[in-house]
Structure 1
Amino acid sequence: MTRYLYLTRHGEASPDGHGLTAAGRRQAALLGERLRDVPFTAVHHSPVGRAAETARLIGEHLPGVPLHACEAAGDYVPYVPTREELSPEHADRLLDFVHQFPDHEQGAALARQALDLFTGPAAEGTAHELVVTHNFLVGWLVRAALDAPEWRWLGVNHCNAALTVIRYAPDRPSSVLLFNDMAHLPAELRWTGFPPELRV
C-alpha cells in the first residue's frame, strides 16, 4: 500500500511557452531513459503543451504505461497567502508575485484535487506514478509532504526535467526521497528554468 510519487517539471520551454526547445526535448528523453526500469502504473501530465510533449517523450521509454492528461497537474497558483501569513520583509514581493497570475479560485480547487489524486498511500500493493507538471505544483506537493505551511510552496523551485520522489506509506509520515535531482542530465542541460542567482 505504498505509493512512490515521481514528480518532474516539463523540459525547457520554447519562447512562446507551448512546446519544448531542442534542449528541453533532450532533457525529457534523458529523464525517460533514467526512469525506464521503474514499474509505473501511470503517467499523469499537465494538458499544457510543454508538459504534454515532455510526457510523450518520457513515455517513449516506458512501453505500455498509459499517459493521462490531467487538469490537476496543470499550471496554476495553488494557494494565495494572506499578508498575515508572511513575514513583513517578504510580504510585498511575494504577494506581488502571486497576484500577477489569474484564476486563484480555480487554482485552489485544482490544488486540493492534486492532493486527493496524487498523495497518500496506495489503495493496494505498491504504486509508482509519475506526474509531469510545472514548478508551482511540485512546490505545492513537496510542501504538503513536509507538513509545511500552505504558503511555503513559494520558494520551492524545480529545474526543468529534474526528478523529485516522495514516498507515502501507511505506517509512517510521507518522506521526500529525492528533490530536484539532475543526475541524469549533463552539465549543459542542468539548472534550466532557474535564474542565475539560484544556480549552485
Structure 2
Amino acid sequence: MATRHLYVARHGDADAFGELTDTGRRQAGLLGERLAHLPIDAVWHSPLPRAADSAHELARHLPGVPVAAAPELIDHVPHVPAPAETPPPLRGFFDGYDEAEAAAGTRLADALTARFAADPDPAAQARDTHEVLVTHAYQVAWLVRHALDAPASRWLGLNSGNTALTVLTYRPGLPPTLVMFNDMSHLPAELRWTGFPTTARA
C-alpha cells in the first residue's frame, strides 16, 4: 500500500521584518541534515521569504530535489472560531476579522488540506512519496488538527518551534497518522524553543 509521507516544519527563526536570521539559517541547515537520508521527492514552501529561505537552506542537503513555492502554505488564520468556542483570553486576537476575511481564510485552509493532507496520487501506484513542507505555525497546527479530525477551533493552542519537525502519513482507506509533532531533536539546546513565548523550558 502506497504511503504519502509529509515532513512539515515551521520556518527558521526570523526577525521583525520576516527575514531569516543567522539562527534561522542554522536551524534550517540542521533540519536539512536530518532529512538528508530520506528519499525526499520535493520541498514545498510558503511564498513568504522566511519560509522560502528556510526551504532553500535545508535543500542544500538534498541535492537534486526540486524546491518550489506552494501558495496554500502561506501564513494565514485558517479558522476564526465563534465567540462561544473561543477561550476568553484569545477573543481579542480575532477582533477585526470580518466575515469575508474569515471565509477567505477557510477557503485557503481547505485548499491546503485538499492539496497536501490527502492520500497518495493514484499515478504513483505502489510507490511511497516523501514531501517536505516549510510553512508557518498556524498551518502546521491546521494540518495536525485535520489529521486528528479535531474540531476546527482546536488549531488554537498547537504551537510549533522554528524548524521543529512534524511528520504525517496518509494511506488509502485509513485515517491519517500523526507520527511525531514538534520534534526538535536535530537542534542543539541553544537553538531550540525559538518561536515560542518565553516560558520555562524542558
Structure 2 gap segments, 5+ residues each: none
Q: Residue by residue, what CA displacement relative to the aligned partner does 1:38-90 show, whole Å, maximum 9, x if unpaired?
A: 1111111000010000001011111111111111001000011112334xxx2
**Deviating more after overlay: 75-84 vs 167-176:** 167-176
- Residue aligned with 1:58, SS: helix
Q: Note the aligned Cα RMSD (angstroms).
A: 1.6
| TM-score, normalised relative to structure 2 | 0.91
Q: Residue by residue, what CA displacement relative to the aligned partner does 1:94-153 show, whole Å, maximum 9, x if unpaired?
A: 232234678433221111000011112202321111110000000000000011000100
In structure 2, what residue type is equivalent to 1:11?
A: G
| TM-score, normalised relative to structure 1 | 0.92
For 1:188 and 1:100, the matched residues in 2 are separated by 37
Show the counterpart of 1:188: 190
Correspondence list, 1:96-175, <5 A: 96-99=92-95, 103-123=101-121, 124=124, 125-175=127-177
Q: Is the 8 Å Cα contact of residues 20 and 50 (structure 1) preserved in structure 2?
A: yes
In structure 2, what residue type is equivalent to 1:5?
A: L
Correspondence list, 1:66-77, <5 A: 66-77=66-77
- Residue aligned with 1:173, SS: coil
Q: Is the 8 Å Cα contact of residues 77 and 101 (structure 1) preserved in structure 2?
A: no
For 1:192 and 1:12, the matched residues in 2 are separated by 7
For 1:130 and 1:95, the matched residues in 2 are separated by 33
Percent identical pairs in the alignment equals 49
In structure 1, what residue type is equivalent to 2:104?
A: Q
In structure 2, what residue type is equivalent to 1:122?
A: P
Q: Within the alignment, does 1:61 sit opposite 2:61 as a pair?
A: yes
For 2:30 and 2:177, the matched residues in 1 are separated by 25
For 2:45 and 2:97, the matched residues in 1 are separated by 21
**Deviating more after overlay: 151-160 vs 170-179:** 170-179
Q: Is the 8 Å Cα contact of residues 139 and 153 (structure 1) preserved in structure 2?
A: yes
For 1:121 and 1:191, the matched residues in 2 are separated by 32
Q: Is the 8 Å Cα contact of residues 5 and 128 (structure 1) preserved in structure 2?
A: yes
Size of the alignment, in residue pairs?
195
Q: Within the alignment, does 1:46 sit opposite 2:40 as a pair?
A: no
- Residue aligned with 1:197, SS: coil
